[in-house]
């Protein structure tokens, strides 16, 4: 690049360097900025540096000067505060639907949003290896395709697979078509809520979807999955497993109140039932997963109503006991 062009970029080089290298505990001196600019073939003096920093301050960049020995300039407020970035990094680390490779790449990008010193502090606390992660490297792009289909009001086509005992994908026999309406996260996995021509309203694990492509056909209208109804439907789905939605009344021990609130939300009405118990009613998609969740609390949890759900629970118990006879 010609020297004159570099000169035009001088103030941008100064801003970039301050954002990446400066820190309140390690401010950047004017001499350091002069040396940096020399590497780009830009020659200037301290007076010019002071003038450029003043211009950046006038523009709204929060650059502070720390006086005295060892003082200098630093950007006081970055795009994200350190605790905010740490929360985002923690979310990436804990996301099972992101592969280990993609998690590391996203964390590296997040670290560029703070100073080099803060980035070192955060990367020192990053642990990705050993966590249960998705094995589907394409999920990142699958989400993008699904969101594009929703924005364009179009159906999607895709293949769906299960993991075999050998760790290889086992694709289901047919190709799938669906009208996508929303993406949501549950139990550390990403799910697509969609209208299927075969199954009606249903959900798909995004990390088990492959070869996703936009179809020419427009989405089939589904009022139950639009606007606030989409959120309501997602809340009714119990851990994203299909099943008929039923209003179920349960009786739990008092010490399990936190568990119920964590699962169904703080708006769930917990009604005391004697000194040691409480009852509550929730609408859930009744499935073996829901029944197993209740049974997992042993004698501390009971389904009171309706009888049909009680009968399903009894049948599941018989099937489990049958495996040990």
Each residue's pLDDT tens digit, 57-72:
888 888 888 887 778 8
Tell me, yes or no, whether 50 lies in a domain.
yes
| H or E segment and range at residue 253 | strand 245-253
Tell me, yes or no, whether 269 lies in a domain.
yes
**Domain endpoint, select from 34, 54, 75:** 75
Instruction: For residue 286, name the pLDDT band (cuts at 50, 70, 90).
Output: confident
Tell me, yes or no, whether 98 lies in a domain.
yes
> Does 167 lie in the same domain as 210?
yes
Tell me the three state secondary structure of residue 283.
strand
| Cβ–Cβ < 8 Å for 156, 214 | yes
pTM: 0.55
Please give the tally of structural domains in the chain: 4
Domain harbouring 213, CATH code: 2.30.30
| Cβ–Cβ < 8 Å for 71, 64 | no
Measured CA to CA, the distance from residue 80 to residue 265 in angstroms comes to 30
The percentage of residues in the chain with a pLDDT greater than 90, rounded to a whole number, is 28
Tell me, yes or no, whether 133 lies in a domain.
no
Residue 46 has pLDDT above 50, yes or no: yes
> Does 186 lie in the same domain as 217?
yes
| Cβ–Cβ < 8 Å for 206, 192 | yes
Each residue's pLDDT tens digit, 160-202:
988 877 778 889 988 999 999 988 877 667 889 999 999 898 8
Tell me, yes or no, whether 20 lies in a domain.
yes
Each residue's pLDDT tens digit, 97-146:
677 777 778 877 887 776 666 666 665 444 444 444 555 567 778 888 99
What are phi and psi for residue 159, nearest 5 degrees? -110, 150
Give me the domain span that covers residue 65: 3-75
Instruction: For residue 312, name the pLDDT band (cuts at 50, 70, 90).
Output: very high
> Does 89 lie in the same domain as 48?
no
Domain harbouring 304, CATH code: 3.30.70
Tell me, yes or no, whether 91 lies in a domain.
yes
Tell me the three state secondary structure of residue 99.
coil
Tell me, yes or no, whether 239 lies in a domain.
no
Tell me, yes or no, whether 228 lies in a domain.
no
Distances (CA, A) of 268 to 11, 260, 265: 56, 8, 6
> Does 38 lie in the same domain as 98?
no
Kind of pairing, strands 176-186 and 169-171?
Answer: unpaired
């Amino acid at each position: 690049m010609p020297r004159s062009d570099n000169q035009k970029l001088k103030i941008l080089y100064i801003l970039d360097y301050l954002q990446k290298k400066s820190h309140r505990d390690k401010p950047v001196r004017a001499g350091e900025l002069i040396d940096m600019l020399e590497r780009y073939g830009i020659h200037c003096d301290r007076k010019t540096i002071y003038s450029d920093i003043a211009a950046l301050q006038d523009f709204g960049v929060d650059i502070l000067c720390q006086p005295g020995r060892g003082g200098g300039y630093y950007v006081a407020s970055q795009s994200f505060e350190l605790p905010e970035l740490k929360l985002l990094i923690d979310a990436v680390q804990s996301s099972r639907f992101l592969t280990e490779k993609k998690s590391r790449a996203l964390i590296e990008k997040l670290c560029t949003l703070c100073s080099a010193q803060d980035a070192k502090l955060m990367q020192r606390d990053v642990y990705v290896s050993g966590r249960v992660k998705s094995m589907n490297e394409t999920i990142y792009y699958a989400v993008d395709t699904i969101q594009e289909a929703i924005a364009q009001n179009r159906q999607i086509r895709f293949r769906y697979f299960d993991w075999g005992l050998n760790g290889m994908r086992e694709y289901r026999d047919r190709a799938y078509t669906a009208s996508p309406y929303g993406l949501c996260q549950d139990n550390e996995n990403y799910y697509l809520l969609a209208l299927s021509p075969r199954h009606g309203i249903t959900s798909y694990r995004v990390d088990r979807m492959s070869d996703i492509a936009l179809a020419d056909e427009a989405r089939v209208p589904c009022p139950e999955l639009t606007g606030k109804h989409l959120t309501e439907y997602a809340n009714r789905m119990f851990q994203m497993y299909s099943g008929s939605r039923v209003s179920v009344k349960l009786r739990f021990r008092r010490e399990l109140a936190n568990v119920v609130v964590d699962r169904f939300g703080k708006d769930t009405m917990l009604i005391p039932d004697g000194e040691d118990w409480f009852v509550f009613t929730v609408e859930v998609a009744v499935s073996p997963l829901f029944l197993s969740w209740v049974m997992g609390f042993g004698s501390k949890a009971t389904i009171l109503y309706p009888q049909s759900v009680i009968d399903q629970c009894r049948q599941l118990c018989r099937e489990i006991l049958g495996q040990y006879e």
